[in-house]
């Protein structure tokens, strides 16, 4: 299988072997999220997650920024990156349904996501970065928790994610003061895994992604799922779920391959079966 082409130039899609690279592509707007980007990002993340040949996703931005957040110009016109809604064509009121939104799709998939943080991540963009499993930051990257300056809230999971990553007090400081933190402080807070020179960002992200792809995909994806579910489970429940998964993995071809490769002192070749 291979990833299908993007339906919009605002999201670039590239498959490099076992790695899917998704690039937010509105550099003239610091990759502010439009309606087209929202839909296509969800679709491509879902497609990559369903493809057994893809073992890791890299998400990055074009130009000098990662993502400046939702397109506030579009929001101000009554839409996200769309036309202004008039009284005659406003959609009927309905309950929120965010099941297909990127923030929920990214949270619920089992394929690991690496954020190659190439510049500023603000608002929605910061939430999207935090939703990735691993964040590799360029030395000029920064995160801007500036929603209070716009009279909005971190509506895309930030208030759930940030306190779990840095603790309540530090999350409160960042949000209430609407602070912007540079790459080094992000590293000290645990918001990013490492910092690299900007020109080495994608090479480093690809190296980490290939290391993930070399491992047994069933083990990696199950570990991610158990970590995610473990945030809401008791210890006993989490251990019980782990043992259920482990029983099936013991009968897999990849388990036999892993053991045989260990005995033969060679690199294992995992197939996902």
The predicted model gives 197-201 an average pLDDT of 98
97 vs 4, more confident: 4
Domain extent listing, the chain: 11-214, 217-264
Decide if pLDDT at 26 tops 70: yes
Predicted pLDDT at 85:
47
Task: For domain 11-214, give the CATH number.
Answer: 3.90.226.10
Q: Residue 155 — pLDDT band, cuts 50, 70, 90?
A: confident
Alpha-carbon span 154 to 161, nearest angstrom: 10
Q: Please say whether the beta carbons of 121 and 191 come within 8 A.
A: no
What's 139's DSSP letter? T
Structure-token match 């690991």, residue found: 112
- Taking alpha carbons only, the member of 267, 238, 271, 265 closest to residue 252 is 271
Decide if pLDDT at 153 tops 60: yes
Q: Residue 100 — pLDDT band, cuts 50, 70, 90?
A: confident
Predicted pLDDT at 84:
47
The predicted model gives 259-264 an average pLDDT of 94
149's tokens: 């300056």
Q: Do the domains at 11-214 and 217-264 have one common CATH topology?
A: no
Q: Residue 2 — pLDDT band, cuts 50, 70, 90?
A: confident
Decide if pLDDT at 97 tops 60: yes
Per-residue pLDDT tens over the stretch 35-53: 899 999 999 999 999 999 9
Decide if pLDDT at 252 tops 90: yes
The domain defined by 217-264 folds into Lyase 2-enoyl-coa Hydratase; Chain  A, domain 2 (1.10.12)
User: What b-and-e string marks burial along 89-102, b requiring 16 or more CB atoms within 10 Å of the CB?
Assistant: eeeeeeeeeeeebb
Per-residue pLDDT tens over the stretch 52-84: 999 999 999 999 999 999 886 655 454 544 444
């Amino acid at each position: 299988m291979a990833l299908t082409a993007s339906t919009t130039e605002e999201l670039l899609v590239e498959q490099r072997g076992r790695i899917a690279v998704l690039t937010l592509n509105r550099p003239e707007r610091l990759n502010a999220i439009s309606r087209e980007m929202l839909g296509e990002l969800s679709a491509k993340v879902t497609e990559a997650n369903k493809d057994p040949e893809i073992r890791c996703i890299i998400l990055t931005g074009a130009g000098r920024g990662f993502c400046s957040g939702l397109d506030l110009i579009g929001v101000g016109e009554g839409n996200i990156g769309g036309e202004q809604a008039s009284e005659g064509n406003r959609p009927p009121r309905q309950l929120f349904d965010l099941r297909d939104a990127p923030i929920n799709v990214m949270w619920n998939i089992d394929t690991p996501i690496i954020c190659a943080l190439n510049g500023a991540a603000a608002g929605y963009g910061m939430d999207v970065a935090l939703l990735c499993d691993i964040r590799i930051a360029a030395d000029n990257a920064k995160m801007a928790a500036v929603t209070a300056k716009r009279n909005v809230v971190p509506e895309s999971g930030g208030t759930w994610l940030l306190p779990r990553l840095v603790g309540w007090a530090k999350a409160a400081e960042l949000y209430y003061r609407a602070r912007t933190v540079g790459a080094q402080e992000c590293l000290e807070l645990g918001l990013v895994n490492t910092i690299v020179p900007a020109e080495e960002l994608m090479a480093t992200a690809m190296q980490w992604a290939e290391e993930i792809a070399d491992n047994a995909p069933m083990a990696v994806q199950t570990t991610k799922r158990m970590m995610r579910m473990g945030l809401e489970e008791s210890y006993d429940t989490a251990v019980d779920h782990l043992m259920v998964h482990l029983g099936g993995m013991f009968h897999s071809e990849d388990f036999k391959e892993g053991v045989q490769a260990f005995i033969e002192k060679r690199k294992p070749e995992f197939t996902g079966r």
